[in-house]
C-alpha cells in the first residue's frame, strides 16, 4: 500500500475542497464552544505583488483562527475572518494553504510546506488551482495583479424566516 504522504491529491479531491461564509451568530456559537482557542491573529504581509507573479499574498486584514475543536463536525473546521468581518469556514487543506501564503513564497514552496503539514502530496499546480478557484473568489487572497479583492459581507442568517409577498 502506498504511503499516504506520497499519494497525490486527485482532481475530485481538489474539487471537493470547500469553504462556507458563516453568519455572525453561527460564528459566535462555534467560537464559544472552544474557550481555549488561540487567538493569535496573523495579518497579511504588506507590499504589492507584481502582476502575473506566482507569489500569492493574503488580503489585508485576514485573520487566521485555526481549527475549532468540539464543534460537532466529524472533521473540525478551520476559521478565518476577512478584513470586512466576514468569517469563513475552511477545510483543513484550504486552511493550510492560506496559512502558508505569505506574499514571499511561490506556489512551489507553498505546495512543499502544505504537503508536509497536510500529510498528502500537493503539487504546485494543485496549490495554484486551490488558490485561483477556491481562495481568491472568497476574497481571502489578493488578486493576481496584487490588488485587494472586492468583497461583500454575507448577511445570510441560517435560521431566519423569509417571507414572500
| CA atoms of 104 and 117, how far apart (whole Å) | 18
For Cα atoms 111, 115, 119, give the angle at the middle one, nearest 5 degrees: 165
| 91-125 burial: b if 16+ Cβ within 10 Å, else e | bbbbbbbbbbbbbebebebbbbbbbebbebbbbbe
Mean pLDDT of 28-37: 41
Instruction: Give the residue with greater pLDDT, 98 vs 20.
Output: 98
- Over residues 80-100, the pLDDT tens digits come to 999 999 999 999 999 999 999
SS3 5: helix
Backbone angles phi, psi at 122, to 5 degrees: -115, 120
For the ranges 6-15, 51-60, 153-162, the lowest mean pLDDT is seen at 153-162
User: In the β-sheet with 87-90, what is the strand arrangement from edge to edge?
Assistant: 19-22, 87-90, 78-81, 63-67
Q: What is the pTM of this model?
A: 0.70
**CB contact at 8 A, 44 and 135:** no
Amino acid at each position: 500500500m502506498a504511503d499516504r504522504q506520497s499519494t497525490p491529491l486527485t482532481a475530485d479531491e481538489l474539487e471537493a475542497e470547500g469553504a462556507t461564509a458563516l453568519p455572525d451568530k453561527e460564528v459566535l456559537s462555534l467560537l464559544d464552544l472552544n474557550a481555549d482557542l488561540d487567538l493569535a491573529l496573523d495579518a497579511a504581509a504588506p507590499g504589492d505583488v507584481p502582476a502575473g507573479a506566482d507569489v500569492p499574498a493574503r488580503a489585508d486584514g485576514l485573520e487566521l483562527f485555526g481549527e475549532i475543536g468540539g464543534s460537532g463536525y466529524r472533521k473540525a473546521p478551520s476559521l478565518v475572518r476577512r478584513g470586512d468581518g466576514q468569517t469563513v469556514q475552511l477545510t483543513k487543506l484550504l486552511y493550510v494553504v492560506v496559512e502558508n501564503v505569505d506574499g514571499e513564497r511561490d506556489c512551489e514552496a507553498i505546495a512543499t510546506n502544505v504537503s508536509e503539514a497536510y500529510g498528502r502530496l500537493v503539487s504546485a499546480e494543485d496549490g495554484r488551482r486551490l488558490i485561483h478557484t477556491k481562495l481568491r473568489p472568497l476574497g481571502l487572497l489578493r488578486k493576481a495583479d496584487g490588488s485587494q479583492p472586492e468583497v461583500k459581507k454575507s448577511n445570510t442568517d441560517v435560521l431566519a424566516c423569509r417571507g414572500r409577498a
